[in-house]
Amino acid sequence: MTGQHPSDASNLHEPQQAAHGEARWPMAGAVIAAAVLTLLLPDDLRLGPRWALPLVEGLLLVALIAGDPIRISRRSAAMRVVSIALVSVLACGAIWSTLQLTDDLMHGGRETNSADALLQAGGSVWASTVLAFSLLYFELDSGGAAARAHHMPPTPALAFPQHLSPELNATHWRPRYIDYLYLGFTNATAFSPTDVMPLAPWAKIVMTVQSVVSLLILGLVVARAVNVFA
């Protein structure tokens, strides 16, 4: 019987530690918040009937919770498809609302003649984009939360400070949803990367799209609001 090297024994324990997935509730809370924001939007800014998007998002979220309820650690092709479908619905809804709001601002819509209604609609659309893109980053980076719970690639798609500065990297550190929410918020306000660097081509494209979307919302809404107040 051959002896076991100490490093081999430590490697046996590493997958168990790495497989400690992130709690489900932050991601679920973001989806619920996005659905509520959709319900608050004016009818002409919403993709489909008032109940359609929240219903689809709710059903997909229930499927995810049923398949992996407490912590996100189950690697499954079916769960992956449901997760991608959920974030795709959220992103499509947010981008559609942005385009409709832009069209209303350019051609005159019901909510564009009132500063209060305009700021409320613009704020809801902007917040929806932040949530949608944060969940998009959360799901696409390094294969998703379940994959990250088991293994982090040597070169992630999104490089956080803990990746760039080894002295900051805690043992078995994994980015959590709050890290992606912060990324979505800062990219929507600074219109450029702040402390998280996109390394993969898809990450650069998605961050560029979010910056353009956010710039359209904030620039046009603020300009129109100033004119209404004047």
pLDDT one-digit tens code per residue, 135-175: 999 999 988 888 888 888 878 899 888 877 767 665 578 89
Distance, in Å, from the CA atom of 146 to the CA atom of 73, rounded to the nearest integer, reads 4
Strands 71-72 and 158-159: unpaired
Q: How many domains does the chain have?
A: 1
- With residue 80 as reference, give the H or E element that holds it: helix 77-107
> Do residues 132 and 93 touch, judged by C-beta distance below 8 A?
yes
How much of the chain is helix, strand and coil, in % rounded to 5? 75, 5, 25
pLDDT one-digit tens code per residue, 117-133: 778 888 899 999 999 99
* 65 domain-assigned: yes
* 150 domain-assigned: yes
* 16 domain-assigned: no
* 123 domain-assigned: yes
* 13 domain-assigned: no
* 55 domain-assigned: yes
Q: Tell whether the model's pLDDT for residue 225 goes beyond 90.
A: no
Other C-beta atoms closer than 10 Å to the C-beta of 11 total: 10
Whole-number Cα distances in Å, 190 to 136, 138, 143, 145, 229: 18, 20, 26, 26, 26
pLDDT one-digit tens code per residue, 71-108: 888 888 899 999 999 999 999 999 999 888 888 877 77
* 141 domain-assigned: yes
* 157 domain-assigned: yes
Structure tokens at 153: 């690639």
> Do residues 92 and 213 touch, judged by C-beta distance below 8 A?
no
pLDDT for position 12? 39
Range of the domain at 55: 21-229
- With residue 23 as reference, give the H or E element that holds it: strand 22-23
